[in-house]
Each structure stands twice: as C-alpha cells, then as structure tokens.
Amino acid sequence: MTQVWQVQIAAPSKEHATELARGAVEAKLAAGGQVVGPVTSVFWHLGEFGTGEEWTVILKTTEDRYKELEQHIVERHEWTSPEITAIPLAAGLAPYLEWVERTLSE
C-alpha cells in the first residue's frame, strides 16, 4: 500500500481555503479534505510579530501525489510563501486508507 499523507495549509479566508480544497480534490491530487477555522495564528513575519485569523485546509493524499499537490497549491495560493506542511499517517482505518489510494490512482 502507498503511504497516505495528511497535508495542512493555512489560508487567509474560508472562501480561499474552500477554493484550495475543492481545486485539489477536483484535480485528484487529494482524495478529500476539510476546511477548519477560523483559527488565531501567532507568528513572526518579515521581522515583525503579529497575530491574525486564518483557516486551515487539511487534505489527504499519497506520498506519490504530494509534490504535484504542493505545486498546485503554490500556484493558486494568495500568499507568496504559503504555509504547507505534510506528515505521513502512522496508522488509520485500512478501508479508509485504501479509499485514499484507490481514489488517487483512478
């Protein structure tokens, strides 16, 4: 079985987060995803401390599709250097993980 990954992306609005999730799933770069928020972010950016409201996009993909998904998001994101992180899932319900793999291989 291919390794399933969870990808997390920060977005400035619910609308933009939903666009990113929808685009990735429609392009079959992610099998599914959720938009969560708003969340309060606390950060350093360009040497300045800040806080702000953001939305989180959580996508499920495979290791094989990650680079293409990352490029897809970068090309469509409003920010120049968006926060995109990914972690391999250590475990999960086998039928769910198989669904992710099957969906992205069709």
pLDDT digits (tens, 9 = 90+) for 40-63: 999 999 999 999 999 999 999 999
CA–CA dist 84, 75 (Å, integer): 12
pLDDT tens digits, residue range 57-72? 999 999 999 999 999 9
Domain hosting 49: range is 4-105
Q: Which residues pair with 62 in a beta bridge?
A: 4
Flag whether the pTM goes above 0.75. Answer: yes
CA–CA dist 54, 40 (Å, integer): 6
Burial (Cβ within 10 Å: 0-12, 13-18, ≥19) of residue 17: buried
CA–CA dist 98, 50 (Å, integer): 41
Number of domains the chain is built from: 1
